[in-house]
Amino acid sequence: MRTTRGDDHGVTTPGALATGRAARRRAARRTTRTLAALTFAGAVAALAVALLGGPLAARGTGELRVPAAGATTVLRTVVFAALAIHLGELAGRRLAVGGPSPRPWSLYAALAGAAGAAGQIALLASVSDIDMATAYGTRDGRLLLLTANGFLAAAGCAALRRPALALVPLVLVIGAEALRAHPEQYTPEIGAALTAVHLPAASLWAGGLLCALRLMWLRRADRADALAVLSRYARPAAWLLALLAATGTASTLRKLPPDVILTSAYGRVLIAKLLLVAAVCALALTARRRLLQSRLDAQHPARAELALLTLVIVVSALLTVLPDPHWISARLGLR
């Protein structure tokens, strides 16, 4: 039987097709191994920041050591990440536009968030040397219990395949975290309101990007469809960034006195967060520029953006654990 050669007539032979498929499989395996290695390295870096960031930032400031700061930061990171994944998947339904979607992670994220909140209640009881019933009766204990129950209710909605209903308990989670994460000394209602806007915006930015990248990977065989997913994410992401900048700036001006920016742990960690956010914005702009050029490699800076956003979540959790910097400013004013 005569076989037509691909270089003579432009027809690809079965052998060439098999070779091409094998090469694509090898490339996919290399990409998977690389992503796994980078994910592991990022997880180690995030854990190191959570456990060691507080003591390093407080060195030389004269601030009192926060009991179990590292463990609390890890648990709060779990809560923030769970909220981001769940809200990102809820918002990501519009990114799919009827096409294939990856398996949802919202159920597991909600359960992890509930465990993170419950772990904080147990940690509160341990460091305060009180029993669990007394811990539940404290202000922080009640808010953490509301967070845990909100995540459990959201997990139930996901398990019953009613994902949209999960938005109601997640709003309760956001409210509880807003009241607890950034207490203000004089006008707490304003600080809580700012956080109630900042927290879901940040969660949608990070969680939405994760959902978009998962969709792009699932639809990578169709270049136009994969690019369309990232394009649908990029449009609202710009508005989210503007909202984050406004609420973050207002919260910083209220929370951090200018005379202790470099002499308080909170100020030092906040500077690190701002540098990370600046790098994230640069990566987002790079991805958007490539996206406008219809380049599929726009996903590469978007992946790096997601990795840095993970560190931003860890640093944000650390900020909620560090002591209020106002007492340092007051101490300096008395000298």
Mean of pLDDT values over 51-77: 89
Within the chain, residue ranges assigned H as helices are 6-9, 14-57, 69-96, 106-128, 132-137, 139-159, 167-181, 188-218, 223-255, 265-292, 299-319, 326-333
pLDDT tens column, 157-210: 999 999 999 999 999 999 999 988 755 666 778 888 999 999 999 999 999 999
pLDDT value of position 257: 84
Mean of pLDDT values over 225-231: 89
pLDDT value of position 182: 57
pLDDT tens column, 284-293: 999 999 888 8
| For residue 3, pLDDT beyond 60 | no
Mean of pLDDT values over 21-48: 74
Task: Please state, in angstroms and rounded to a whole number, the distance separating the CA atoms of residues 23 and 191.
Answer: 55
pLDDT value of position 4: 44
Task: Please state, in angstroms and rounded to a whole number, the distance separating the CA atoms of residues 75 and 78.
Answer: 5
| For residue 57, pLDDT beyond 50 | yes
Total-model pTM: 0.87
Higher pLDDT, 255 or 134: 134
pLDDT value of position 15: 67
- Gyration radius from the chain CA atoms: 23
Whether the Cβ atoms of residue 311 and residue 276 lie closer than 8 Å to each other:
yes
Task: Please state, in angstroms and rounded to a whole number, the distance separating the CA atoms of residues 68 and 36.
Answer: 30
pLDDT value of position 334: 47
Task: Please state, in angstroms and rounded to a whole number, the distance separating the CA atoms of residues 217 and 230.
Answer: 11
Q: What six digits make up the tokens of 246?
A: 């406004």
| For residue 274, pLDDT beyond 50 | yes
Q: What is the band of 60 on the pLDDT scale with cuts at 50, 70, 90? A: confident
| For residue 333, pLDDT beyond 60 | no
